[in-house]
């Protein structure tokens, strides 16, 4: 007698029929380009895009890691990613908790639309607006600072403020996605646990730390992994707003590889891309392992 949960051959075929188109698309437009990129990274740039490409082994990787500009770019990319992940996930968590609290009773829909609208706004349009907002001559940020008798903001042209300027623009662009994930997880949280903890004398911080956060671990994990992938490959905001400046402070790996590719240095450019891809995979796996580790 078969178990009622057993999967029949027909059900398996139906499942494969639904999955097959997405699997084929993933192979063609996901895995295959990655493999081709790795192949190009092992060839000489002059022949990389030709049918009779000359293989040079790991020479491009040696050249990349011997390049101090690439090492600085990789370091800046990692630092920026850490800052962006902490800022975006932390802000999104706070915003979601605020929306889920009684403090905002009316108008929650307006706040949800306001935070999610930038997510569906085209990258190019949004970052162009931010570039004009930061302009030191006629930007709205410095106009407001002047009106309030505050020090002028250096914006994108100052080494002291360019990272902050990018982080704020990226926060505006991406935080809404993470907020939606947190709100979905908050809707599944068991409120009875928080009520029971409050009856036992736990304060708000204890309830947040020991009751709410463990229930939000799946959302924190998903958002952290997605944010790591998103910010490690930061590119569009750099192209639109800084072009890697000032003084190469925002010349992250993706943009540096793009510059080399534009110069015809295909082998080194794809080697940088492969290194960045390895960093993305390693960071995602590390975050997944850390997020799934059972609390002591």
* pLDDT on residue 6: 63
SS3 43: strand
CB 182 within 8 A of CB 93: yes
pLDDT tens digits for the chain (296 residues)?
445 556 788 888 888 888 888 888 888 887 888 888 889 899 998 888 788 889 998 999 999 999 999 999 999 999 999 999 999 999 999 999 999 888 777 778 899 999 999 999 999 999 999 999 999 888 999 999 999 999 999 989 999 999 999 999 999 999 999 999 999 999 888 888 888 888 888 888 888 888 888 899 999 999 999 999 999 999 999 999 999 989 899 999 999 999 999 999 999 999 999 999 999 889 888 888 877 776 55
Query: Domain ranges in the chain?
Result: 63-291
**Does domain 63-291 match CATH 3.40.50.300?**
no
* pLDDT on residue 1: 45
CB 217 within 8 A of CB 153: no
CA 159 to chain centre: 23
Cβ contacts of residue 185 below 8 Å, gap of 6+? 215, 216, 218, 219
CB 181 within 8 A of CB 223: yes
* pLDDT on residue 203: 86
CB 284 within 8 A of CB 223: no
Residue that is written with structure tokens 């437009």 in the block: 29
Residues pairing with 43 in the sheet: 55
6, with CB counted inside 10 A (0-12, 13-18, 19+), is: exposed
Residues pairing with 55 in the sheet: 43
Question: What six digits make up the tokens of 148?
Answer: 């309030």
- Helix pair angle (217-232, 162-188), 10° resolution: 150
CA–CA distance from 198 to each of 15, 80, 173, 195 (Å)?
Answer: 46, 39, 37, 5
* pLDDT on residue 291: 73
SS3 55: strand
End-to-end CA distance of the chain: 43
Q: Is the model's pTM score more than 0.85? A: yes
């Amino acid at each position: 007698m078969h178990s009622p949960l057993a999967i029949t051959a027909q059900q398996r075929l139906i499942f494969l029929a639904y999955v097959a188109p997405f699997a084929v698309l993933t192979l063609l437009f996901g895995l295959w380009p990655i493999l081709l990129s790795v192949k190009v990274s092992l060839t000489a740039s002059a022949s990389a895009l030709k049918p009779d490409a000359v293989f040079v082994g790991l020479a491009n990787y040696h050249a990349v890691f011997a390049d101090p500009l690439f090492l600085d770019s990789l370091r800046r990319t990692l630092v920026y990613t850490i800052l962006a992940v902490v800022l975006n996930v932390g802000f999104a968590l706070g915003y979601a908790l605020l929306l889920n609290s009684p403090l905002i009773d009316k108008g929650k829909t307006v706040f949800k639309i306001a935070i999610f609208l930038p997510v569906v706004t085209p990258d190019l349009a949004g970052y162009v607006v931010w570039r004009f907002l930061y302009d030191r001559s006629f930007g709205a940020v410095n106009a407001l600072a002047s009106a309030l008798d505050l020090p002028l903001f250096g914006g994108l042209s100052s080494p002291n403020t360019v990272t902050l300027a990018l982080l704020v623009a990226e926060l505006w662009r991406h935080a809404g996605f993470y907020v939606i994930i947190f709100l979905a997880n908050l809707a599944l949280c068991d409120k009875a646990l928080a009520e029971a903890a409050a009856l036992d004398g736990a304060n708000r911080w204890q309830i947040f730390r020991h009751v709410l956060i463990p229930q939000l671990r799946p959302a924190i994990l998903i958002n952290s992994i997605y944010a790591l992938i998103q910010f490690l490959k930061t590119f569009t905001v750099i192209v639109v707003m800084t072009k890697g400046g000032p003084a190469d402070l925002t010349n992250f790996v993706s943009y540096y590889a793009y510059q080399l590719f534009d110069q015809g240095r295909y082998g080194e450019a794809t080697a940088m891309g492969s290194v960045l891809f390895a960093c993305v995979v390693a960071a995602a796996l590390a975050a997944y392992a850390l997020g799934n580790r059972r609390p002591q």
